Chain A
Amino acid sequence: MVAGATAVPGAGEAALPGATGTRLLLLGPALGIVVLVGILPLGIILVYSFLTPGTFGGVVWKFSAEAYAQFLFDRDFLDDSLTFNAAYLGIFGRSLVQAGVATAACLLVGFPTAYFMATRPPATRNAWVFLITVPFWTNLLIRTVCMLLILRDEGLINNALVGAGLISTPIVMLYTDFAIGLGLMYSYLPFMVLPLYASLEKLDFRLVEAAYDLYAGRWRALTRIIIPLARPGIVAGCLLVFIPSLGAFLAPDLLGGGKHLMIGNLIQLQFASSRNWPFGSAAAMILLAAVLLALMLYVRTAAPRQRARP
């Protein structure tokens, strides 16, 4: 505050005497929180993933890379040899596909929704944003259970269809990948709509008129002008949906019936019934590494295009 009040606009703040100390003091609280809630827990997970599991949960302080080996291999009880086992990789792959499908579905549903909101008169837009955020007010568990009530054999949809005479036996929707995907989409759709809306709301619709004027029909105005300009929102929305979907365990557990494990369930199980904290920590670190890798790949491919501006 002191440095800010005396700083001449445009002059380098570092040039002021004592500015470095003041800056550290001001940054202190924020840095402290980042370390406390961001770096420290991750550090604990990393350390635990290299320890030995305790018999009743917890860890024994003895170094071991067993947890990481367990992710890819089976250890033979008799001769201690390792044989490759793709079961956990399969869970990981299925999680990626499930999260990818949920993200794509959110984008397909979210884009028209956000476009609709962004093209309303400014006075009514806030009301639409408000409606989008309403589901957040209720616990995710409760909402997922409601999805269960809608999807099950005796649920809303099947009862309605049978009642209307359209089908004679209920369509099995619950405890399928479809149910998991739908649950994920339902849970994270607002995370897609809000960044998309923020992008589209800023869009200069006179550019769309210009595209029409230059012989672009509605589809090509969408693909050549609107979507490229909404790209930051699309990317942000996809990341915000994909990442929590990948680690989700509520929807797969309740709507998938635990039949189709996803990586989130696997991790949760290690800390609950399986009581293998190091393996749970290792799986979490592998998930983290995979997400980071995906993000870095994205930045690599996206950045040159943005840097090409000058």
Chain B
Amino acid sequence: MAETAAVEVRGATKVFGTGGDAVRALDAVSLTIRENEFFTLLGPSGCGKTTLLRLIAGFEQPTAGDILLGGEPVGHLPPFKRPVNTVFQSYALFPHMTVARNVAFGLEMRGLRRAEVAARVEEMLALVKLTDLAGRRPAQLSGGQQQRVALARALANRPKVLLLDEPLSALDLKLRKEMQIELKKLQLETGITFVFVTHDQEEALTMSDRLAVMDHGHVLQVGTPTEIYEHPTERFVADFIGETNFLEAEVLSVIGGMATVRLAAGGEVGAVPRAGAGAGMTVTVAVRPERTALTPRIAAAAGDGAVLRGHIENVVYFGTDTIYHLLLADGAPFIVRMQNREGARRAFRVGDEVGVAVPRDALQVLRD
């Protein structure tokens, strides 16, 4: 790779406490975050994503491994000597300073000339549309405004990497949606690498260039939102992101990047294989509810897709689409999500015996 990575994490391990109380928050995590990338660390609480962010910021020292920023090892440097800035979950605005003084703080600490500090503060406040509130104290601002001040304060330093620790979690839904779009815009305008921590999968999918899904101190999968959503390689990833149906299957063959599996629920179908999957193995395959469709039971399988058989247990109407909860013939639960097209009647009712059409390519073989 010709360009240097913005952030490189090499086998980073972080253990809190000692002896029997020791908690392994991060276990030999390795990651490469590229320049100008909007990179997200996604996982449930306690998965180690915030610990990883704090290692990059310098608030914690790795127990083992190293962190590189722009190719330079920084594992031993205190936070105030690293070219990164953080937007804290709590915003951590200085309550005894005005908005302008908060934004100026980092610049003053780096010894910029007074005129330059003033110009940069003005520029940043304009960027986050807070010019009118420069003289206010943080306590006099709304949550959304405080969020913008925190952003301006961090971005004013023109860091190589901006670290964001669940910055939107305290905002209400509408404001959160607005800030998501604004953050993405800011990242494109400034060209700064963003490392964004969240437990919100939707946020991660809509904002990121790439994301890493974490659990129990491990990075399970790294990829673009499409890769992660369409082709999860781990059961946890498939389960954590979006709704998924899991089916037991046996691999019949793997030929040229395409596997054929026999589903326990009946039918043979093409599936995207994972590395190491071979004929004869029993595996779990995942299929997204919206990739499947209900058919009247009499309709036979078309093409090389499969038709599973089951009966409808529950129907949930969602406006844009309807979700059908089924029990398959072998007793496994299954969810089908279908769009409510114009004029379409809700032809399927609770108790109906139906077929579920699963097209080829919709199945992903998981690593168990």
Contacts and interface: CB of A to CB of B under 8 A. Distances in A.
Interface of A: 204, 206-207, 209-217, 220, 224-225, 228-229, 309-310
B96 A214 contact: no
23 contacts: A204-B90, A206-B88, A207-B92, A209-B79, A209-B88, A210-B92, A210-B93, A211-B105, A212-B78, A212-B80, A213-B57, A213-B85, A213-B106, A213-B154, A214-B80, A214-B109, A214-B157, A215-B80, A215-B110, A225-B94, A229-B95, A309-B139, A310-B140
A220 B137 CA distance: 21
B210 interface: no
B358 to A, nearest CB: 49
Interface residues of B, number: 26
A212 B81 CA distance: 9
Interface string B72-95: 000000111000111010101111
B96 A228 contact: yes
B86 A210 contact: yes
Nearest to A221: B80
B15 to A, nearest CB: 18
A214 B153 contact: yes
B16 interface: no
A220 B86 CA distance: 18
B318 interface: no
Contacts of A210: 86, 88, 92-94
Interface string B281-292: 000000000000
A301 B84 CA distance: 39
Sort A-B residue pairs by CB-CB distance and give the 9 closest, nearest first.
A214-B106, A210-B92, A215-B109, A212-B79, A206-B92, A216-B109, A213-B86, A215-B80, A228-B96
A212 B93 CA distance: 13
A309 B157 CA distance: 26
Contact of B92 (A209, A217, A224, A229): A209
Nearest to B90: A206
A220 B92 contact: no
Contact of A229 (B59, B90, B96, B153): B96
Given A209-B79, A212-B80, A309 B153 contact: no
Contacts of B154: 213
Contacts of A204: 90, 92
Contacts of A213: 57, 59, 79-80, 84-86, 106, 154
A109 B337 CA distance: 68
Contacts of B80: 212-217
Nearest to B156: A214
Contacts of B95: 207, 229
Nearest to B159: A213
A220 B96 contact: no
Most buried by A among B79, B86, B88, B157: B79
A206 B109 CA distance: 18
A214 B230 CA distance: 40
Contacts of B93: 210
